[in-house]
Structures are given as structure tokens and as C-alpha cells.
Amino acid sequence: MDTAGIISAMPVKPDWLIVDHYVLDERWEGALRPCAHWIFFIDDYTDRVHDYDLLLDQNLITGIEKRNDNMVPPLCGKMLGPD
């Protein structure tokens, strides 16, 4: 069964869908958007465009505040760095 099928079989719609994956992108996230209220993504690469609501990038990198700007929605919350 796929992710959408598993979630739709749940008795209630989950508040958060938490994702940590190196291949998924905005197509997958967009397809799953109706399945949860928000999408939280753990990601430390900037190699693909995403459609999520909250990002965790725990890297200690100079300029981390701006490095995901072109890859995430404008209103995406960001938790950046090791703190």
C-alpha cells in the first residue's frame, strides 16, 4: 500500500506528515498534501524543489539562512543549524 492509502485508512487526518528522504520532491509532497494538515521535512540538501510547511536543516553551514530560499515555498518555516 502506498503512503496516501495508509494515511487515508487512518480514522483521523494527521496534523503532521514528517518526511526524511533524499529523493522525494514537490511532486510527491503535493500529492500527499491533502493527507495531512502540514508537511514537515528533514532535509540537508538543496538539490530539488519542495512543497512543505516546515523545514529542519541541522547543518552548520555559512549562509544557511538563504541556501534553501529557491527550493521551498515562501511561507515555509525553517529550523536551521544545530541549535
- What is the SS3 string spanning 23-50? CCCHHHHHHHHHHCCEEEEECCCCCCCC
What φ, ψ does residue 8 adopt, rounded to 5°?
-65, -20
Give the pLDDT confidence of 31-81 residue by residue, as tens digits. Answer: 999 999 999 999 887 788 899 999 998 888 887 787 777 788 889 999 898
Return the pLDDT at 81.
87
Q: Is the pLDDT of residue 6 over 90?
A: yes
User: Do 69 and 48 meet the contact criterion of CB atoms below 8 Å apart?
Assistant: no
Return the pLDDT at 40.
96
**Domain chopping of the chain, boundaries:** 3-80
Mean pLDDT along residues 22-34: 92
Global pTM reads 0.85
Return the pLDDT at 1.
55
Distance CA 72, CA 75 (A): 8
